[in-house]
């Protein structure tokens, strides 16, 4: 871990007791800061609170007392990424010109390892995982570690890596908004669609947050970007880094691309597209992005081929669960927006029984109409959006439309509506927060319900 004096004897407010908040607070204490942790939920009985207090932090839960700013001369505020900027503590910090940062900023400062950073609306976690596996394959020195939005706290990993290692960091728009010095050697932008506008306020703000991934790059760095999206070609003009395009549609051969059914890099054919072990055009794009990074980092074709032919998918992201009674079950709980569900539906030639629904963000689901018509034989719907989705399914001409109260009821209903050769797909097209704390919890409920069907 690199020793930094930035936070020595500085008062720092950490907002939120999520994974990143807890680990950031622990690291700040090691760096000599006076740390105050605040969470609006009552967390007094949690082990994390007891541990942080034992380490010397002041922990206040159950409210957001703005009066803390009068009691402490805070130099910095580190917030959990999902906490909004209209939170009273964040607003108080901004009003006092106190920098509002997120955990990647802290982790980058102490990390001795080179960073490869991945962002985008969809495909971040799969691409991050593929890159990590490729860069770690038969690595002569050090290791490649995946961390960040993938679920592993950055500040935890940053403390143990050396200059022989690589940190492959998945960075969300929420995380990137709170960075000022992060400078990845390679930045990857998978795509940009409509997402998190309730948080960012506008699409322009969302795009601006994503592009912070290149804000500190120089001509010695690389920006790996999806060339099949014209908007991203325009955005690539904002970076000083060397632009390395990837293109499933053959829009450019200057980086990674598909030609004659082969994954290629700068004129070299590496492997057949059909041998990628995870389904869907979107995973061809994820493979191309990862392949480009691996080649830029000097990794072998053997590593690329081994990973792409054996990787079975990230949990909750188009995850193949099992085959039972000639039905194939897939868990795509991470599909928290329509674009992700569109991608999932395009991934299969077999008839689909779709389980969908969740938090109502005020959207309608007309964009799903053509894909529902083309791919879906039955829908099982639950959650706040079930009636809206049912209307769209009806317009698509789907004959089997069943509405239930909860995901636990949806899974056996989907199995009953399926036949041999079908795909049973959880791809909600909505956030999980109407019935679940996280998309991971939602996915785990689906997995348990599939297990129950098989057991019975």
252 is in an annotated binding site: no
Question: 120 among the known binding-site residues?
Answer: yes
The reply, when asked if residue 421 is annotated as ligand binding, is: no
3-class secondary structure per residue, 303-341: HHHHHHHHCCCECCECEEEEEECCEEEEECCCCCCHHHH
In whole angstroms, give the CA distance from residue 2 to residue 27: 12
Among residues 345, 405, 407, 410, the alpha carbon closest in space to that of 377 is found at 345
Confirm if 346 and 368 have CB atoms less than 8 A apart: no
Task: Compute the distance between CA of residue 340 and CA of residue 332 in angstroms, rounded to an integer.
Answer: 9
CB burial class (10 A; 0-12, 13-18, 19+) of residue 393? buried
128 is in an annotated binding site: no
Alpha carbon dihedral 42, 45, 46, 49, in 10-degree steps, equals 80
Say whether 126 counts as a known binding-site residue. Answer: yes
Say if residue 124 carries a ligand binding annotation: yes
Provide the angle, in degrees to the nearest 10, between the axes of the packed helices 301-310 and 281-296: 150
The DSSP secondary structure of 271-310, one letter per residue, reads EEGGG-SS-SHHHHHHHHHHHHHHHHTT--HHHHHHHHHH
261 is in an annotated binding site: no
Per the CB < 8 A criterion, the answer to whether 365 and 429 are in contact is yes
CA angle 327, 332, 338 (to 5 degrees): 120
| Annotation: binding site for ATP | 120-126
| Annotation: binding site | 120-126
């Amino acid at each position: 871990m690199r020793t930094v004096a930035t936070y020595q004897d500085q008062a720092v407010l950490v907002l939120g007791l999520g994974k990143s908040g807890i680990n950031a607070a622990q690291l700040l204490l090691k760096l000599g800061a006076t740390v105050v942790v605040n969470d609006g939920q009552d967390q007094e009985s949690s082990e994390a609170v007891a541990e942080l207090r034992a380490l010397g932090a002041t922990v206040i839960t159950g409210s957001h007392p703005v009066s803390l700013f009068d009691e402490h001369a805070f130099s910095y505020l580190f917030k959990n990424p999902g906490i909004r900027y209209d939170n009273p503590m964040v607003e108080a910090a901004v009003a006092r010109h106190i920098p509002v940062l997120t955990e990647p900023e802290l982790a980058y400062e102490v990390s001795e390892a080179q960073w490869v950073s991945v962002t985008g609306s969809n495909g971040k976690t799969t691409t991050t995982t593929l890159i990590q596996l490729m860069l770690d394959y038969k690595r002569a020195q050090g290791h490649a570690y995946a961390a960040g939005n993938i679920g592993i706290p950055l500040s935890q990993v940053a403390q143990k890596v050396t200059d022989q290692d690589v940190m492959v960091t998945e960075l969300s728009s929420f995380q990137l908004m709170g960075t000022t010095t992060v400078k990845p050697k390679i930045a990857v932008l998978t795509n940009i669609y409509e997402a998190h506008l309730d948080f960012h306020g506008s699409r322009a703000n969302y795009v601006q947050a994503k592009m912070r991934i290149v804000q500190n790059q120089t001509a010695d760095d690389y920006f790996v970007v999806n060339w099949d999206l014209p908007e991203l070609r325009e955005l690539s003009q904002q970076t000083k880094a060397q632009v390395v395009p990837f293109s499933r549609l053959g829009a450019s051969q200057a980086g990674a691309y598909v030609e004659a059914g082969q994954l290629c890099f700068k004129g070299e054919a590496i492997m057949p597209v059909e041998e990628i072990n995870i389904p869907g055009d979107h995973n061809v794009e994820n493979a191309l992005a990862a392949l480009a990074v691996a080649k830029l980092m000097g990794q072998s074709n053997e590593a690329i081929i081994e990973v792409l032919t054996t990787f079975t998918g990230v949990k909750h992201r188009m995850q193949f669960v099992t085959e039972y009674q000639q039905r194939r079950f897939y868990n795509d709980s991470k599909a928290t927006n329509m674009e992700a569900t569109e991608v999932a539906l395009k991934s299969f030639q077999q008839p689909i029984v779709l389980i969908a629904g969740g938090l109502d963000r005020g959207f309608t689901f007309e964009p799903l109409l053509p894909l529902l018509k083309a791919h879906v034989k039955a829908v099982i719907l639950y959650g706040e959006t079930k009636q809206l989705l049912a209307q769209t399914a009806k317009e698509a001409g789907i004959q089997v439309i069943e509405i239930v109260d909860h995901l636990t009821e949806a899974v056996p209903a989907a199995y009953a509506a399926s036949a041999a050769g079908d795909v049973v797909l959880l791809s909600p097209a909505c956030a999980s927060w109407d019935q679940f704390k996280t998309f991971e919890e939602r996915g785990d409920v689906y997995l348990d319900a599939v297990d129950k069907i098989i057991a019975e």
